[in-house]
């Protein structure tokens, strides 16, 4: 086998034989290395990055994928964009855009800033009546970002991002049923339980929803409701509009300040005024 390799090398000529030359000088080595780098990587460290291509965009609105297609059509070439499957891109709908002489970097920066908003992340349920929702606020933004901080070119790779969070399991879920307790003692001083439940049922009929399950406990004057957090909050809002909503606080303040009726003080009786009879002396005649 070794003999065959040597024979083939000899037949091929001196091109395959190692060069019998002296080691290159350091300056020559550096120059050759730079030439290799330029040829293999097509990169010139002293060259300025090419400016991004300007284009006019007439986007009718749609998903991030629709926007990318519209940009590619305006550019007349492919755009390097990644849309991750877990980015909730399908739930995002961009508004129509009509822009002139913009580049991709300007467009994507403007989209990210324009779509920034404050959102509420539901973390649980609660409230004075057992209903309502507990939440935290955070910043939501979505758009496209470059994959690295290198100078932006038409070949830059962009990726879609979306910072919207998923709610906690069962937190604020429409199918999550919980119990709410509503004290009706003060309300029943001016209305009836039938009138209250009728008003509640009517509100849900207008929403095209089935009303939650309700049961009134006469001994404690409690209305017990089994429903979703939104349904309990709806009942709480309705009760605030009924007469007697602020009656408990007023009744307590009145009880602490109102005194029971008392009998008037027993002063000695007074007699009517009678003039004192003083005898008038007789008038004597004057002697002239």
Question: In sequence order, what DSSP letters do the residues of 200-229 get, joined into one string?
Answer: HHHHHHHTT-PPPEEEEETTTTEEEEEE-H
pLDDT reported for residue 90:
82
Give Cβ neighbours of residue 108 (< 8 Å, ≥ 6 apart): 143, 144, 145, 158
CATH number at residue 235: 3.30.1370
Q: What is d(CA 29, CA 23) in angstroms, rounded to the nearest whole number?
A: 9
Residue 266 counted as domain residue: no
pLDDT reported for residue 15:
45
Per-residue pLDDT tens digits for 195-239: 999 999 999 988 888 889 999 999 999 999 998 888 898 999 999
83 and 182 in a single domain? The answer is no
108 and 62 in a single domain? The answer is yes
Give the chain's domain count: 2
- Single pTM value for the model: 0.43
Q: What is d(CA 154, CA 164) in angstroms, rounded to the nearest whole number?
A: 29
What is the number of other CB atoms lying within 10 angstroms of the CB of residue 220? 12
Q: What percent of the chain has pLDDT over 90?
A: 33
Whole-angstrom Cα Rg for the chain: 46
Per-residue pLDDT tens digits for 127-160: 544 445 566 788 888 999 999 878 899 999 999 9
pLDDT reported for residue 249:
43
Phi, psi of 151 (to 5 degrees): -55, 135
With vertex at residue 54, the alpha carbon angle to CA 147 and CA 99, rounded to the nearest 5 degrees, is 100
Give Cβ neighbours of residue 216 (< 8 Å, ≥ 6 apart): 184, 193, 197, 222, 223, 224
Residue 51 CA from chain centroid, whole number: 38
Residue 102 counted as domain residue: yes
219 and 152 in a single domain? The answer is no
Per-residue pLDDT tens digits for 75-134: 999 999 999 988 888 888 899 999 999 999 999 999 999 888 887 776 665 554 444 556
The SS3 of residue 195 is helix
152 and 189 in a single domain? The answer is no
204 and 139 in a single domain? The answer is no
Q: Is the per-residue pLDDT at 167 higher than 80?
A: no
Residue 168 counted as domain residue: no
Q: 211 is in which domain, residue-wise? A: 178-243
Q: Which of 104-118, 154-168, 251-265 has the lowest mean pLDDT?
A: 251-265
């Amino acid at each position: 086998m070794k003999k065959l390799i040597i024979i083939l090398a000899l037949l091929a000529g001196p091109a395959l034989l190692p060069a019998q030359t002296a080691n290159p000088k350091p300056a020559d080595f550096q120059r050759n290395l730079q030439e290799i780098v330029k040829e293999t990587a097509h990169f010139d460290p002293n060259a300025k990055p090419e400016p991004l291509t300007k284009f006019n965009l007439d986007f009718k609105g749609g998903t991030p994928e629709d926007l990318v297609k519209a940009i590619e059509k305006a550019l007349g070439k492919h755009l390097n964009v990644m849309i991750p499957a877990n980015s909730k891109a399908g739930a995002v709908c961009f508004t129509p855009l009509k822009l002139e002489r913009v580049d991709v970097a300007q467009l994507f920066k403007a989209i990210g800033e324009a779509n920034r908003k404050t959102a509420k992340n539901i973390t649980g349920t609660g409230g004075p009546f057992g209903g309502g929702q507990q939440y935290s606020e955070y910043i939501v933004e979505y758009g496209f970002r470059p994959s690295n901080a290198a100078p932006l070119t038409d070949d830059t790779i962009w990726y879609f991002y979306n910072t919207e969070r998923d709610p906690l399991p069962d937190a604020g879920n429409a199918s999550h049923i919980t119990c709410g307790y509503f004290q009706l003692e003060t309300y029943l001083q001016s209305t009836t339980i039938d009138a209250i439940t009728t008003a509640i049922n009517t509100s849900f009929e207008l929403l095209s929803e089935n009303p939650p399950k309700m049961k009134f406990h006469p001994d404690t004057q409690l209305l017990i409701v089994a429903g979703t957090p939104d349904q309990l909050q709806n009942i709480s809002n309705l009760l605030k509009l009924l007469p007697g909503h602020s009656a408990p606080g007023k009744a307590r303040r009145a009880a602490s300040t109102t005194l029971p009726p008392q009998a008037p003080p027993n002063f000695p009786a007074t007699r009517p005024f009678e003039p004192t009879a003083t005898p008038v002396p007789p008038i004597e005649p004057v002697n002239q």
